[in-house]
């Protein structure tokens, strides 16, 4: 007899409950199931790149175009993201249900960490048996012995200067630390700011100074142990690095703290700063008519007894472990490891890079490139760069310490203690 009375409040509560229930069930059912589609494998192949320059984009597209000629069964697409956003997105990207299949990345600790979390595709089958030096092969291998990274090219760091400016000032490349200090003194005497170090948006540049001084004074073995947390920043050997750097501080461009990297490099290019410790990207940014004038010398030798190590950051590709198209991703990695692909990339991008596969030739050979290649080839050891050999948290600890050191060089002891504690904290102990 009685009608079921539905009050408005009850009705709303019911609707709400239904909504929550359906939302929850959506969560439960649509849980990412990577590679669950056992039958139909995807043929799409997305390459996510952080090469935003015109040349870099064209070169990536050229790689995909060539790849598809040999492997017409795949449908590759290129997706480019600004490097800082790329770096921020990559952790999320690798854990997506539908991740990008192949990504640009670099050798070093971060890639090894991804591998430890099982985020990277096993690239052992794609890694060529010959062409890569043992060092590059080791850098591409994770702790369990499988290849996770395919290197394609590297660049080098050095003290960059302009030939015409050095001629104008009548100075020559120094070989040793004492000669370098003398050169700084001479330049300052001529009213030229000797060393550019723009820090406004690029405090990470201080890492290049630390890396090189540590490599030259204490050697690559100690450097690696220090970055891995096996040695302490309060070690007297690290204090010696800062003591040596202190000799140079008066020769840094005092305006550098307020300059962005690009402003700093413009100043260097105009000859207002004489030298710039940088990678080859510094020269790549100069106008076409300046490029031939760009030159560099090796970071001066401090202790002749220490085996010479150079910084040569290695770039290449990784593939996501959750890719829906593992065969395609592996095929692409196999392709970019070939000398032809690396030559094509360098020719199209026009950047000053050296192919990682030793069977590849540099398509555009300049005196600068040959000088860099010879320098890296003759080095007893090669490191990547501070944050590539450790990670970005460690880099933050470094920039905090070193920027403070530039301001207050007298507080070195305190700074190193703080650095050690920051570094340990970032490592999680």
Q: How far is the CB of 93 from another protein (least distance, A)?
A: 7
Question: What is the residue-wise DSSP string for 102-167?
Answer: EEEEESSHHHHHHHHTT-B---GGGS-SSSS-HHHHHHTB-TTS-B--EEEEE--EEEEEEHHHHH
Tokens of 134: 């043992």
Nearer Cβ to another protein, position 55 or 229?
Answer: 55
Nearest to residue 104, comparing CAs of 168, 160, 152? 152
Beta bridge partners of 273: 193
| In the complex, least distance from residue 359 CB atom to another protein, rounded to whole angstroms | 28
- Name the minimum Å distance from CB 313 to another protein: 12
* Furthest-apart CA atoms within the chain: distance in Å: 110
CB of 403 to another protein, least distance (A): 19
Q: Which is nearer to another protein, 51 or 122 (CB)?
A: 51
> Is the four-CA dihedral 333, 336, 339, 340 of positive or negative sign?
positive
* Residue ranges in 314-410 assigned as alpha helix (H): 326-336, 339-349, 367-378, 386-389, 392-407
Whole-number Å distance between alpha carbons of 265 and 273: 9
Beta carbon nearer to another protein, 26 or 380: 26
Minimum CB–partner distance for residue 49 and another protein (Å): 10
**Residue 242 CB, nearest approach to another protein (Å):** 27
Q: Which is nearer to another protein, 201 or 303 (CB)?
A: 201
Pick the closer one to another protein by CB: 174 or 264: 264
Q: Which is nearer to another protein, 264 or 300 (CB)?
A: 264
């008066």: which residue's tokens? 250
Which one, 77 or 421, has the nearer CB to another protein? 77
Please, what is the minimum distance in Å from the beta carbon of residue 116 to another protein?
Answer: 20
- For 170-191, the DSSP string reads T-----BHHHHHHHHHHHHHTT
Cβ(245)–Cβ(177) below 8 Å: no
CA distances from 197 to 185, 246, 257, 262, 276 (A): 17, 14, 7, 11, 7
Binding residues vs another protein (CB under 8 A): 26-27, 30-32, 48, 50, 52-53, 78-83, 85, 88-89, 92-93, 96-97, 100, 261-263, 265-267, 269-270, 281-282, 284-288
Q: Can you tell me the distance from the alpha carbon of 39 to that of 52, in angstroms, rounded to the nearest whole number? A: 36
Q: Taking the complex as a whole, how short is the minimal distance between the CB of residue 164 and another protein, in angstroms?
A: 14
- Phi, psi dihedrals of residue 152, rounded to the nearest 5°: -120, -35
Tokens 């198209």 map to which residue? 325
Least distance from another protein to the Cβ atom of residue 197, Å: 15
> Which is nearer to another protein, 56 or 219 (by Cβ)?
56
Q: 26 or 377: whose CB is closer to another protein?
A: 26
- CA–CA separation, 191 and 274 (whole Å): 11
């Amino acid at each position: 007899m009685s009608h079921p009375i539905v009050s408005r409040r009850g009705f709303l509560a019911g609707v709400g409950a239904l909504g929550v229930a359906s939302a929850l069930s959506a969560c439960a059912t649509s849980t990412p199931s990577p590679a669950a589609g056992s039958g139909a494998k995807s043929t799409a192949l997305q390459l996510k790149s952080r090469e935003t320059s015109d040349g870099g984009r064209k070169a990536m597209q050229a790689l995909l175009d060539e790849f598809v000629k040999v492997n017409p069964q795949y449908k590759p697409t290129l997706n480019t993201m600004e490097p800082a956003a790329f770096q921020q997105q990559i952790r999320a990207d690798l854990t997506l249900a539908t991740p990008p299949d192949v990504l640009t990345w670099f050798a070093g600790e971060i890639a090894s960490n991804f591998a430890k979390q099982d985020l990277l595709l096993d690239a052992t089958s794609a890694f060529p048996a010959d062409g890569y030096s043992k060092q590059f092969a080791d850098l591409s291998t994770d702790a369990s012995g499988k290849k996770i990274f395919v290197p394609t090219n590297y660049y080098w760091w050095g003290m960059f200067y302009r030939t015409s400016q050095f001629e104008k000032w009548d100075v020559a490349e120094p070989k040793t630390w004492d000669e370098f200090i003398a050169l700084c003194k001479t330049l300052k005497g001529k009213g030229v700011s000797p060393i550019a170090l723009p820090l406004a948006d690029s405090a990470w540049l201080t890492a290049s100074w630390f890396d090189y001084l540590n490599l030259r004074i204490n050697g690559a073995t100690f450097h690696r142990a220090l970055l891995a947390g096996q040695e302490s920043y309060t070690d007297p050997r690290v204090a010696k690095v800062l003591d040596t750097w202190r000799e140079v501080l008066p020769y840094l461009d005092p305006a550098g703290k307020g300059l962005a990297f690009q402003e700093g490099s413009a100043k260097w290019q105009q000859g207002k700063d004489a030298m710039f410790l940088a990678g080859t990207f510094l020269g790549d940014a100069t106008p076409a008519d300046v490029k031939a004038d760009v030159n560099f010398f090796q970071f001066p030798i401090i202790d002749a007894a220490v085996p010479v190590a150079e910084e040569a950051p290695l770039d290449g590709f990784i593939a996501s472990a959750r890719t829906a198209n593992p065969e395609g991703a592996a095929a692409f990695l196999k392709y970019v490891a070939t000398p032809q692909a690396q030559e094509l990339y360098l020719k199209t991008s026009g950047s000053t890079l050296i192919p990682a596969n030793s069977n590849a030739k540099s398509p555009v050979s300049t005196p600068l490139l040959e000088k860099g290649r010879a320098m890296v080839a003759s080095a007893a050891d090669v490191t990547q760069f501070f944050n590539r050999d450790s990670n970005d948290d460690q880099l933050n600890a470094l920039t905090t310490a070193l920027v403070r050191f530039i301001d207050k060089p007298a507080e070195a002891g305190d700074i190193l203690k703080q650095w050690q504690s920051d570094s340990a904290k970032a490592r999680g102990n």
